[in-house]
Each structure stands twice: as C-alpha cells, then as structure tokens.
Amino acid sequence: MAPKTTPSKTIPFAIAITALATALVVGSYYHFTTMSQLQGQVKSLEGELSVAKAQAVDPAAIQEIVDNLKQLPEDVIPAAPDNWIYGSSSARYTLIEMTDTECPYCRDHFPLLKALIESSAGQINAAILHVPALGEASRRQALAIECAGEQGGSDAAWKYTQTVFDKTGGNGKGVSESLVSLATELGLDGKRFAACTDSKQAIERVTGDLDQAIKLGIQQTPSTLLLDNQTGMSMVLQGANASHEGILKAIASISKAGGAK
C-alpha cells in the first residue's frame, strides 16, 4: 500500500555479524526472554496469518511467509526488513533498536536512543525492529506502529511508538485507550489504520522482525544492533553494553576495526 504522505526512508542491507563482539552482559537495561517464548510469538503471528488466509487474502504469499520461517537454517541471518528511520538517511552508523513496547526497560532506553541521534550531527540514525515478547498487547502494538508508519512514514512510526511507551502500563498490560484512537490523535486516518492492523502486509513485517531477532540470538530487550553503513561491519549490544556509553564505545571500536581493514 502506497502511503499518501511522504514514504518512510528504508535501509536495504544484509546484516553481517562480525567477529568483533556479541555482548551478552546483563545490566541495568534488562528484560530476559527465552528463545522458546520468542518462538511462541512466531506461532501466534502464524495464527494471525492463518486467519488472513481464511479470509482469502493472497493465500500463496501467506504460505510462503510461514514456510520461510520454518525452513531457514539456524545459522543463516536473513536480510533486514525495511525499518522506520529516525535521523539522517545518509548517516554512517545505524542503531537498530530491537524493542518491545510492553518492556519497561525498552521504554527507558527509547529516549536515550533518540538523544544519541539528535546529538550526532547526522552521523547516527536509528531503526525499529519489533521483538513483541510480552503477549498480545506487544503484538498488537507492533502491528499498530507498522500501520502508523505505512500511513505517515518514519516520523509517524516513531511518534506512535513514543505515544505507546508513554501510555502503556507495561509488562503486557497494554494501553487503556484503543490503538486506533492513539492514531487519530496523531492525525492519522482511523479507518485506514484499523484496516492496516489486520492486513497481511503488517503481520508479515512484524513476523519478519521477530524471526530476525531469533536468528540473531537476542535474549534481552532492549538490544541494539550497531551497523557501520560505510564498511558493512556490525555489532550486537545487549544489557549494559547498550547504554549511552556502551554504544559510543562500540562505534569507536567498529570504526577503528573498519579503518584497519
């Protein structure tokens, strides 16, 4: 579906995890979730795809999505889906924020991420990758963020994410208002938004994000995947390593390693 407003900026890259580091240290920003829980969320999203299939929405394409989830070898890292970009599209470094809007630690981490972008003089941008591990509220909010972006581009996706963080009770409690009403408060078309949240396209994007997080071996939210768009090098940061200082140290490290190639 082509948005009527300015479309989101995307980053078509394949994620390459280098030998630099995969930081698994548990720190102040910590929410642990097991692989089995993440796999369970994939199953739930597969169920939503089955509903879409029952409604005769392009069943061949739906089946392909589900088959790909099951057939991908565990050691293959899939290409990143399109993500909503905050900051300059030409930034050298991208921080992919692997987040769950029901995770209180993700809520604390979100403004930190935005502050880094805003103080980077265009050198750092960020993207959202959904890891909806805290139940139905997480999944529905992830779909809603995708639909805010579908209609209003990256700006709307990030504003909607912040709104959900501000209003949710966290830990699976969700928001007291309807997700559609949050969209209309941001000036989005409510009917179009509601239709999008049940669409194959939105489900596909969230399922793709979650599957990617599983392939990366993510054990915590929030986690940050740092990408050097100039060299193609990358680093996964989890726990205390995804702090303000940790991210800046990682950027310095990955920049130095890239320059030594």
Sheet containing 124-130, strands listed edge to edge, beginning at the edge strand earlier in sequence: 85-86, 124-130, 93-99, 223-228, 234-238
Spatial neighbors of 26 by CB under 8 A, at least 6 apart, are: 32, 220, 238, 239, 240
Q: What is the pLDDT of residue 126?
A: 94
Helix 104-118 vs helix 136-167: angle between axes, to the nearest 10 degrees? 60
Sign of CA dihedral 8, 169, 180, 69: positive
Q: What is the pLDDT of residue 74?
A: 39
Which amino acid type is present at position 136?
Answer: E
User: What does DSSP say about strands 124-130 and 93-99: parallel, antiparallel, or unpaired?
Assistant: parallel
Q: Please state, as a whole number, how many other Cβ atoms lie within 10 Å of the Cβ of residue 130.
A: 30
The answer to whether the beta carbons of residues 24 and 216 sit under 8 Å apart is: no
Residue the block writes with tokens 């995804």: 242
Q: Please state, as a whole number, how many other Cβ atoms lie within 10 Å of the Cβ of residue 210.
A: 28
Give the DSSP per-residue string, 122-159.
TSEEEEEEE---S-HHHHHHHHHHHHHHHHHHHHHHHH
Q: What is the pLDDT of residue 159?
A: 97
Note the pTM of the prediction, 2 decimals.
0.70
Tell me which DSSP letter residue 220 carries: B
Sequence spans of domains, the chain = 35-55+79-259
Looking at CATH, the fold of the domain delimited by 35-55+79-259 is given as Glutaredoxin (3.40.30)
Residue 46 main-chain phi, psi, to 5 deg: -60, -35
Q: For residues 55 and 198, give the distance between their C-alpha atoms in angstroms, rounded to a whole number.
A: 11
List, in sequence order, every beta strand (DSSP E) within 135-244.
Answer: 223-228, 234-238
Which amino acid type is present at position 151?
Answer: Q
C-alpha dihedral (186, 192, 197, 202), degrees to nearest 10: -100
Take residue 116 and report the two structure tokens written for it.
Answer: 């880094």
Find, among 201, 207, 200, the residue nearest to 40 by Cα: 207
pLDDT tens digit at each of 261 positions of the chain: 333 333 333 333 333 222 222 222 222 233 434 445 555 555 665 665 565 555 444 445 444 434 433 333 434 333 333 579 999 989 999 999 999 999 999 999 999 899 999 999 999 999 999 999 899 999 999 999 999 999 999 999 999 999 999 999 999 999 999 999 999 999 999 999 999 999 999 999 999 998 888 888 888 888 999 999 988 888 888 876 778 888 999 999 888 776 655
